[in-house]
Structure 1
């Protein structure tokens, strides 16, 4: 159940964001709903620059947005060099996996819920070991735990 602690966690995350990086599917889902939302959080979320990794999208209606060109790892390296802040990947599992593979992820932030459905897509690239160092673990009163990890490069 969503609560005030989770809301604060997401607000802090948003305040730390300089831009969003999204895959096509997540961009289309967000573009179909977020522009209709109101309030301070929605205004800030909608105003963030959005970088979209897609070879099939030709136009982006949810602005400000830019289609990334070329190979994703190269485009993200360039973004990180010129970024005015942290770039968050929301959803976009294939994007996150590719960035992990190429050592382009600085932090992994997860909300772990007290339950399991026994199915779903793996977060980490299948068949690859990803070493992580725990940065913080914050339990919320509803049983959810906010976890933050740093990938440890060169260590399997």
Structure 2
């Protein structure tokens, strides 16, 4: 069975606002973290906004990472998009929880949710997330969209926590409902 793995950039206070996370310089440790994810990934699950951001930039990128990233199957959760130009891509049909349950039963490797906060929050709410991988930047933003939905509680088990030399902390958690 495939795992659903959510990967996010966050502040130490849990805000997932990548545009404001400029306090650390990208380094080789972060490269390794993202390359390890890509090596483990069989597909991407994206919300509409993240899909549109990625589709407007990733196809223009070159190099080994970009080639592998672009070639992954992409499943898109959207009720408004009708056409997907970034190939290979597929619009999910029906309610998100049921569509993701079907994805988990499929073959082809783990499915990574990049960004897509509302998708990640809904999947957490329905107990469909197996792992959460976070790159926590050394800054408290104080406001913005929180990674975890306000008022919701989720039991997590720490798998690993690795500090990087640039101050970023890489963490991986298992969701308690999937142990």
TM-score by length of structure 1 reads: 0.96
Q: Could you report, residue by residue, the CA deviation over 1:87-127 in whole angstroms, capped at 9, with x for unpaired residues?
A: 00001000000000111000000001111221111111221
Q: Secondary structure at the match of 1:112?
A: strand
| Alignment coverage as a number of residue pairs | 154
Work out the CA distance in 1 between the residues paired with 2:102 and 2:111.
12
Aligned to 1:130: 154
1:30 to 49, 54, 64: 54
Q: Secondary structure at the match of 1:153?
A: helix
- 111-120 or 89-98, larger mean C-alpha shift: 111-120
Higher relative contact order (CA 8 A, sep 6+): 2
Aligned to 2:7: none
Aligned to 1:88: 112
Work out the CA distance in 2 between the residues paired with 1:83 and 1:99.
19
Work out the CA distance in 1 between the residues paired with 2:29 and 2:144.
26
Q: CA deviation at 1:83?
A: 2.9
TM-score by length of structure 2 reads: 0.84
Work out the CA distance in 1 between the residues paired with 2:151 and 2:107.
31
Q: Does 1:18 align with 2:61?
A: no
Q: Secondary structure at the match of 2:133?
A: strand
Aligned to 1:147: 171
Work out the CA distance in 2 between the residues paired with 1:42 and 1:66.
19
> Which runs of 5 or more structure 2 residues have no equivalent in the other structure?
1-24
